[in-house]
Amino acid sequence: MPQSYQQWIPAIISIASDAAEAILAVQSRESYETNTKSDKSPVTEADLLSDRIIQAGLLQLDPSLPYLSEEGQVFPLTKRATWDRFWLIDPLDGTRDFIKGGKEFVINIALIENHVPVLGVIAVPHQQAIYWAVKGQGAFYQKIGEPARALRLKKGEPSALTLTLSRNIDHLQGSERALLERLPPATFIHCSSALKFCLLAAGEAHIYPRFGTVCEWDIAAGHILVEEAGGEVVDLAGLPIRYNLNETLDKTGFYAVSSVDLVASCCG
């Protein structure tokens, strides 16, 4: 693990903070441009502005590293397969929440090396907070103007689990119900975006289950954050998640958990 990854953290925090300020400035306006992408998901000028800020900042850190973003070109696997390291970015995760005037959207910045995340930064603009992790160096949280603190996961008690679920789930679906049948009684925290990874890493929840399609840029930064805080992130079969191996960047779901023991419980 190159020492430069840890040394990059202050610069990446500054980049993410600049992008967060730009996003908040757009959201505070009476109107801003919003369009619909080919996959029917929304994109705003805040998404695109954040992407430009992040790309320009990361280019200064290492001009040789490829940049793969939700708001940029998705290169074919024949090209991506030659990448040993690359940036994987969601410049505004939770665009629907942003459009509604919500406060739970985040910025995801991850560095992938040999198909696994080795660095992750998640900025939460409305909290003026940054979560980050570097492989082998631990996970941390810092509110702007305050000292950083290490993150440690909440270890589950058999009679008291907390799950964090999407705010878009109005009622429990079949997959969620099947999971709950395998677990002890649980309480729920509903929120949007990769903020759910942050809640897990900060010890506020035990399990973040995700069923259905999710893109790699949605989970990479949260993946290493949870792992470095002492947890696990696996696919729905309980296997390790690896990145940039397929033509599509979609994943079919995952479990992020606070302990290895919960993997078996989730996977049945």
Give the pLDDT mean for 186-202: 94
pTM of the model: 0.95
**Mode of pairing for the β-strands spanning 85-93 and 67-69:** parallel
Give the pLDDT mean for 117-133: 98
pLDDT at 193: 94
132-164 pLDDT tens trace:
999 999 999 999 889 999 999 987 766 789 999
219, β-bridge pairs: none
Return the structure tokens found at 90: 């969601």
pLDDT at 88: 98
pLDDT at 217: 98
pLDDT at 1: 46
Check residues 189 and 176 and name the one with the higher pLDDT. 189
Q: Do the Cβ atoms of 204 and 152 come closer than 8 Å? A: no
207-258 pLDDT tens trace:
999 988 999 999 999 999 999 999 999 999 999 999 999 999 999 999 999 9
Return the structure tokens found at 98: 């942003």
pLDDT at 169 over 70: no
pLDDT at 66: 97
φ, ψ dihedrals at 59, nearest 5° = -60, -35
pLDDT at 3: 56
Complete DSSP assignment for the chain: --THHHHHHHHHHHHHHHHHHHHHHHHTSS---EEE-TTS-EEEHHHHHHHHHHHHHHHHH-TTS-EEETTS----HHHHTT-SEEEEEEEEE-HHHHHTT-S--EEEEEEEETTEEEEEEEEEGGGTEEEEEETTTEEEEEETTS--EE--PPPPBTTBEEEEEETT-SS--HHHHHHHHHSS-EEEEEE-TTHHHHHHHTTS-SEEEEEEEEEHHHHHHHHHHHHHTT-EEE-TTSPBP--S-SSS-EEEEEEEESSHHHHHHHH-
- Confidence band of 72 (pLDDT split at 50, 70, 90): very high
As a whole number of angstroms, the distance between CA 212 and CA 254 comes to: 9
As a whole number of angstroms, the distance between CA 94 and CA 258 comes to: 23
φ, ψ dihedrals at 101, nearest 5° = 85, 15
Which domains occur in the chain, in start order?
Answer: 4-150 (3.30.540.10), 161-267 (3.40.190.80)
Q: Residue for token digits 């290169």? A: 75
Output the average pLDDT for the chain. Answer: 93
